[in-house]
Amino acid sequence: MKTWIKLVPFVAGILLISVAASPVPLQAGDNPNPPEETVKLIFIHHSTGENWLTDGYGNLGQTLDENNYFVSDTNYGWGPDAIGDRTDIPNWTEWFASGSTPTYMEALLSENSQNSSYTRTVSDPGGQNEIIMFKSCFPNSALEGNPNDPPNPEGELTVGHAKYVYNEILKTFATRPDKLFVVVTAPPLSDPTYADNARAFNQWLVNDWLSENNYSLNNVFVFDFYNILTGPDGHHRYSSGQIEHSLGGRNTLYYPSGDDHPSEEGSRKATEEFIPLLNIFYHRWKENAPAQPQPGPVDATEAPADSQPAPSSASGWIDDFDSNSLPKSAPWEGFRDEATSTSLTCKVEAGTGRLGNSLHLDFDIVANSWVTCAAFFETPQRWNAGDMLIFYFRASQGGLLFDVDLYTGSAENRGTYVYTIEAPAASAADWVPMEINLDAFRRASWEENADAALTPSDQIVGMAFGATTPQDAPNAGEVWVDDIQLSGAAEEQPGEAPTTAPVDSQPPAEPAQDQPQRGPSLPCAGGIVLPLLFLGLAELNSRKR
């Protein structure tokens, strides 16, 4: 009997390992082979990721290259607002769930440079990055709190706050089913103080995160970098026709390099196990990934990507140019300066939108002239200054100037509030998300109270997309607009949706002939290669307040 009691811990341990090592069955048609066409991937990281990428250390960059991925990366000093400096877990909401997210996403999707040393032989296929891969560094495994803490908006580096952060950014991932997001868990520490918390959090991230949020899309993949580095028996890999996620025998770093940066051996083990999994999850995602993003923000419980998108509870649709089930305007109507040779085409055009139709403006404006493509609401709308107007647009060329106009008052005493956009270069190749706080709109320079801000007391009676010109210069180009909605605490008339009616018979007030308005990180130092400084992409040249 005493012998049996002594064997209990051993037997329990064997059972635990057996459960932990249980393979995850592959989905039908899973494919661990490289993509047939070159795929663009961007990796957000600091020194551990740099070592992992580097030739002769982790060899990840070279191995991705051999698997037909065109790899770019960020590092310290990269991007708008030097956002590349901030890759701790609490920083991911700044990247993926903040007012600056459209700017950072634009830069990420356009990036094609290297900020680490790795072989890159495949040619840039053009277009945007399809895969966004990101990782925090090893200090993020010092998570305080308790292993089973629930999500908490407070707490910084705690188990609860880490769960909260990933729940928040998942809402943004749901709006971009056209991109694959690869979450790489932070590597372990040698210090065991918070090791149980780190293990519990990463187990939650791999096994429970998506299911707890009822996430139905397949554009998010978690790779357990942490687990692989905790011992020879720690795996997250494709093996014998199965995806295997088996726990190592410890919760601390098994592969040190003299400090807590993983060694060459550990980094290469991670490369060997990661690549087939990435291929599998890429093929899974690509099977039904849409060509363009969904309107956002949306809840993580939304329908699959191939279904008709619906607005979230915090959003009010204005026009998606597609579905009769959504409140939308009658055909938009164009107005131009008829005293000149200025020309304008303003129409809803089939098959040109993100998932269907879009509003298409094609204009050629002589110097000091104007055009608008406008629609008016059947019932004046009470929007709040804190609300945000959201839409997507494409432009015929970067640098093109166009306006978004909001109208207040009556047809006899109409106020025009203007927000001017300069199209970024990326908009010539793909849709660009745009978010404008309503208090960023300013009274038109050709009207009284010029430059006054739109206020909550101003009821919105209509909106338009249009353009004027720089002083004494022409302005010509094309703009496509899709999925216009209001996000925030918008107040609607009781029982009424923000529907729109045919355009008023009177054109908007003619503008004057003048120029339009223009619109603490934790240390993870000591990488094997010094971070390269990134010169930076141009930030979307528009006011965001």
Cα dihedral across residues 300, 306, 311, 313: positive or negative = negative
d(CA 265, CA 269) in angstroms, rounded, equals 6
Q: Write down the number of H helices and E strands in the chain.
A: 10, 21
d(CA 431, CA 306) in angstroms, rounded, equals 18
Question: One-letter amino acid identity for 384?
Answer: N
Q: What is the mean pLDDT of the chain?
A: 81
How many other CB atoms are there within 10 angstroms of residue 180's CB atom?
A: 25
Question: One-letter amino acid identity for 482?
Answer: D
pLDDT, tens digit, for every residue of 377-401?
877 777 776 678 889 999 999 999 9
Architecture of domain 315-501: Sandwich (2.60)
- Per residue, the 3-state secondary structure of 11-67, as one string, reads HHHHHHHHHHCCEEECCCCCCCCCCCCCEEEEEECCHHHHHHHCCCCCCHHHHHHHC
Instruction: Say whether pLDDT at 241 is over 70.
Output: yes
pLDDT, tens digit, for every residue of 187-232?
999 999 999 999 999 999 999 999 999 998 999 999 999 999 999 9
Tell the burial category of 213 from Cβ atoms under 10 Å away from its Cβ (0-12, 13-18, 19+): middle
For the ranges 178-187, 474-483, 517-526, the lowest mean pLDDT is seen at 517-526
Q: Taking the domain 36-286, which CATH number applies?
A: 3.40.50.1110
d(CA 128, CA 110) in angstroms, rounded, equals 5
Residue with tokens 């120029």: 515
pLDDT, tens digit, for every residue of 19-56?
444 454 445 568 999 999 999 999 999 999 999 999 99
- Per residue, the 3-state secondary structure of 369-416, as one string, reads CCEEEEEEEEEEEECCCCCEEEEEEEECCCCCEEEEEEEEECCCCEEE
| Residue from 137, 128, 124, 222 nearest 173 by CA | 222
Domain ranges of the chain: 36-286, 315-501
- Fold: same for 36-286 and 315-501: no
Q: In the prediction, which pLDDT does 290 show?
A: 65
Q: In the prediction, which pLDDT does 329 show?
A: 52
Greater model confidence, 118 or 3: 118
